[in-house]
Amino acid sequence: MSKIRDMRTLSLGRLMSVYGTVTRTTDAKPELIMGNFQCMECNQYVQNLEQQFKYTEPVRCSNENCHNKSRWELCSKDSTMVDWQKVRVQEYSSDIPAGSMPRSIDVILRGEIVDMTKPGDKAVFTGKLVVVPDIVQLMKPGEKYTSSNMDTSKMKRNENRTMDGVAGLRKIGVKDLSYKMVFIASSVNTGDTRFGFN
């Protein structure tokens, strides 16, 4: 079994177990695993498109006479979906070195193991560590901080004028691609005395 603090990129893709205390859980939500799409230009059917940790449409239509690259309709009744849940797991207080802050990791539960844990549970998760893009960091970087040397009264009168000042990093083309480690669990074990739980 591995401590959350000891998880490194060398562990990526390997079957392993990690333990900790559940601090937060989300509601169960549907996740699209394999999508079937219909082209809205020629009605061509694209089957079993694997999703890549986000909603993924076909790149282009498989019909040679069709040039569609963006107009798709998801055929949800023929697609494969499963329940999923994100759980936040924090390391035990006994594993935290003196003067350090506790570390946490997001654990993804799918299918039958959804809702098997609740906040406060001590649990062992078996699965594998993966790296995913940090989508939240990619959404409009710098947009939270907006500055301008025009007051609001002038803005109302000059709605057609370009505002002075900087309105986020997007204006200068800066976009850092960051990643985070997530643990995809295939099984959950709670309250087992073999692991010292009560």
What separation in angstroms does the CA of 38 have from each of 32, 47, 54, 62? Answer: 16, 9, 19, 11
Distance CA(72)–CA(61), nearest Å, equals 9
More confident residue, 99 or 109: 109
What confidence category does residue 94 fall into, taking pLDDT thresholds of 50, 70 and 90?
confident
Name residue 63's amino acid: N
Query: 39: which 2 tokens?
Result: 């082209």
* Residue 149 clears pLDDT 50, i.e. is over it: no
Q: What is the mean pLDDT of residues 48-69?
A: 84
What is the DSSP pairing of strand 45-50 with strand 80-90?
unpaired
Q: What is the mean pLDDT of residues 58-75?
A: 87
Grouping H, G, I as helix, E, B as strand and the rest as coil, residue 54 is coil
Q: What is the mean pLDDT of residues 110-120?
A: 91
pLDDT for position 136: 58
What confidence category does residue 8 fall into, taking pLDDT thresholds of 50, 70 and 90?
confident
pLDDT for position 95: 86
Structural domains present in the chain: 32-81 (2.20.28)
Cβ-based neighbours of 122, under 8 Å, separated by 6 or more: 19, 20, 21, 22, 92, 190, 191, 195, 197
Distance CA(44)–CA(19), nearest Å, equals 47
Residue with tokens 């900790």: 20
Share of the chain above pLDDT 70, in %: 73
Q: How many residues does the chain have?
A: 198
Q: What is the pLDDT of residues 18-44, one digit of tens each?
A: 999 999 999 998 888 888 999 988 988
Instruction: Classify residue 28 by burial, with Cβ atoms within 10 Å: 0-12, 13-18, 19+.
Output: middle
Q: What is the pLDDT of residues 67-85, one digit of tens each?
A: 888 888 888 888 888 888 9
Name residue 141's amino acid: P
> Mean pLDDT: which of 29-38, 133-142, 155-164 is highest?
29-38
Q: Spell 83-107 as b/e; 16+ CB within 10 A means b.
A: bbbebbbbbeeebbeeeeeebebbb
Cβ pair 119, 48 in contact under 8 A: no
Lowest mean pLDDT among 69-73, 111-115, 191-195: 191-195
